[in-house]
A and B are shown apart, each in its own frame.
Chain A
Amino acid sequence: MHTEKIYTEYKKFNAKKVFYILIFTIILGIIALGALLHGPSSIGFKNSFTALFKETGIASAIVWELRLPRIIMAILTGCGLSIAGTVFQAILKNPLASPYTLGIASGAGFGAVLAIIFGGSLYSEYLIAGSAFFFAMLSSLIILSIARLKDPSPETMILAGIAIMFLFSSLSSFFQYIGTMEQVQEIVFWFFGSLSKTGWKEISIVSVMIFVPIPFLIKSSWKLNLLATGDESAKALGVNTTKLRMQGMIFASLITSACICFTGVIGFVGLVSPHIGRMLVGSDHRFLIPTSALIGTILVLVADTFGRILWAPQVIPIGIVTSFIGVPFFFYLLIRRTRGYW
């Protein structure tokens, strides 16, 4: 009888988490639809809606070629960065771990800087994305190699990540220093982050790189939960903590690199979404991963929509708006929270 009661309570507890996920999915759907039907052009709600299903010339082009790719990219980026942030925080057992504090974003930034300055005859947006991706992965591999050489503890990984962040930031600054005025301007714009350059081709590449590792990470949810109880107890329960850390690091880095190589730096999302998610659904990664993914997606989509609407037709870069919107919300949750959640 007692076990049954506990089980009922547990189901209720989980139902609450599922409810949050459902609510966030509905909110995301509404925001996405709003962003799809509203824009600076004069085609209006009705025409935009019709254009979704019927070829209507310019309205169809706006909806299918401009708005939809942008919305999907915002969803992919928000989802990817948040999942990566959640995994980094779990495997490193550190609330400050994110793609930015670990130097992966700095690596991507350095890659973009190199491509802009020394692109040569191959210069294109794909070269920038490719180079950003390569250096983001390289920074992650350096962290992993150091962790393997020394010991794969969270402390080693975090310290190596911070060192990598400073190294790549300094290298980026150096190449900006030797670049021309125009190249420096281009670099600054890249670091602001933007979803304007997104097309269907970019979406297909990013989708593959995000959706291939996600099943593995979701499958590892239980192991991540056990890791939170401490390495010793996780090991005692049969988790290979070293392997889990290495795999988590590689997959989370892959997702991060895929997201930011096309969009530029979109900060804060990867750090804050897991925290908001944890405040709402707790630390069970089976629920935390989808919740923080949805929160991150909503945050990026809202930021992008606000960035386009607030000062229309001028665009406030998404990298700036995500922090404008996310920080006050995060503060609100932090102050309202009465007990520790981490």
Chain B
Amino acid sequence: MTRFITKTGFSLISVFILLCLSVSGTTAVGQTKIVEIQDANGNFVQVQLPVQRIVVLTSDALEIVCALKADNLITGVFTGISREALFEAKLKQKPKVGDWREVNYELLAELKPDIVLCYARSPGKNLEKKLNPFGIKVIRLNFFKLETLDQEIKTLGLILGKAEQAEALINWHQNRLQFLQEKLKGIKNPPDIYIEGDSRYHTAGPGSGGDKMCTLAGGNNIAKNLSIPYPEITCEWILKNNPEVIIKVATRGSYNIKAKNIKTDIKSKTRLVALKTIQEEIMVRPAWNHIQAVKQKRVHVITNEIWAGPRAVIGASYLAKWFFPEKLKHFNPEEIHKEYINNFHNIKFQGKYAY
């Protein structure tokens, strides 16, 4: 009988907790609170608040954690932190536990974080299986898709107890998007754009981030009707489509490499030289002197940091400026970038991110 009462009691408490969660998403248990969030895969994850120790496995999540002024909670980082010019200085001493693909479970367990932040699909589901027994929650948020960025910032803000900062960041982001939309309203003849990734002749097809960026900035991606997101295309086809603007996306690899020294890659001068070199290489490709964009010197290079990820809106602003130079004559995307770096990261802005 006693067992029955105890069992029933537990069941009732459990039902009560679940009811609370489904209504408000949070519930208090003693001193702590439990919050239920929906991750990038649409799965519901319960997290016990306050979160005091976090491990970050992706550069995108790291940027948002820092923008929410929660970097003091970081107890472990990914191995490629040395490539993160903005955040390396304050986080390079933190233990490195793996990367976006694979982690060292022993190290992670030893660090005892409350949560681990990673991408929706990587590392695989094994991460939860291995870490849940240690009481470590895996939070899968991407922060690289424009359409879900605000929601993910809000979720992370809730988990980290930084709702106010999250709101400020979301507001800034939405204002920037609104500004672009207003400026580009009523455009009838969008210019034809060719976007190229790091590898020569690999473009951004339908469903790719590049295609979305191009549309957001008011351009007509010449590869939008192809079949796959990142196809290799023939040079002849580019000539046939004769784009008005060419956008080359320089990923961290290429411009760091060209900047001669990874440690100084953020410095304006080296970056500028690196981006200029990439542009010059494109302009002298065989037969490309017949392309409108090359003839009119409308070939631009943009770095990966503002192309995908939390700063994509800054990248889109550059694109809009390049696509419609007359209409956006007095608009300087670098100012927006400065505003973001200064206000949300308290770091002095430096470097060249577009050319």
User: Chain A residues in contact with chain B, CB under 8 A?
Assistant: 39-42, 57-58, 61-62, 65-67, 69, 116, 119-121, 123, 177-178, 180-183, 185-186, 189, 194, 196-197, 199, 308, 311-315, 317
Contacts and interface: CB of A to CB of B under 8 A. Distances in A.
Given A62-B239, A189-B199, A196-B200, A40 B287 contact: no
A66 B257 contact: no
B227 A67 contact: no
A69 B251 CA distance: 29
Nearest to A182: B251
A120 B255 CA distance: 10
Given A39-B234, A313-B234, A182 B290 contact: no
Interface in B284-334: 286-287, 289-290, 304
A199 B232 contact: no
Contacts of A317: 232
A91 B251 CA distance: 45
B165 interface: no
Closest 6 CB pairs of A and B: A313-B237, A182-B251, A61-B287, A65-B286, A314-B231, A123-B257
B286 A199 contact: yes
Contact of B286 (A39, A61, A123, A314): A61
Nearest to B304: A182
Interface in B63-118: 79-80, 83, 100-102
A130 to B, nearest CB: 15
A131 to B, nearest CB: 14
Contacts of A197: 200
Nearest to A309: B234
B226 interface: yes
A31 B287 CA distance: 23
Interface of B: 79-80, 83, 100-102, 197-202, 226-228, 231-237, 239-240, 251-254, 257-258, 260-261, 286-287, 289-290, 304
Contacts of A69: 286
A180 B254 CA distance: 11
A106 to B, nearest CB: 21
Given A121-B260, A180-B252, A186-B253, A314 B228 contact: yes
Given A189-B232, A314-B231, A315-B231, 20 more contacts: A57-B290, A58-B239, A58-B290, A66-B239, A66-B287, A120-B257, A123-B258, A177-B102, A180-B251, A182-B253, A182-B254, A186-B253, A196-B232, A311-B227, A312-B234, A312-B237, A313-B233, A313-B237, A314-B232, A315-B233
Contacts of B235: 66, 196
A58 B198 CA distance: 26
Given A61-B287, A180-B83, A315 B232 contact: yes
Nearest to B251: A182
A283 to B, nearest CB: 39
18 contacts: A40-B234, A40-B237, A40-B240, A61-B239, A66-B235, A69-B286, A121-B260, A123-B257, A123-B258, A180-B80, A180-B83, A189-B202, A194-B232, A196-B200, A313-B234, A314-B226, A315-B231, A315-B234
A159 to B, nearest CB: 33
Contacts of A199: 286
A182 B100 CA distance: 13
Contacts of B79: 178
- Could you say which of B201, B234, B289 has the most chain A C-beta atoms within 10 Å of its C-beta? B234
A196 B237 contact: no
Contacts of B240: 40-42
Contacts of A178: 79
A186 B231 contact: no
B236 A39 contact: yes
A121 B257 contact: yes
B312 to A, nearest CB: 16
Given A42-B240, A66-B286, A121-B258, A182 B232 contact: no
A42 to B, nearest CB: 6
B218 to A, nearest CB: 24
A317 B237 CA distance: 16
A180 to B, nearest CB: 6
A61 B290 contact: yes
A67 B286 CA distance: 11
A183 B234 contact: no
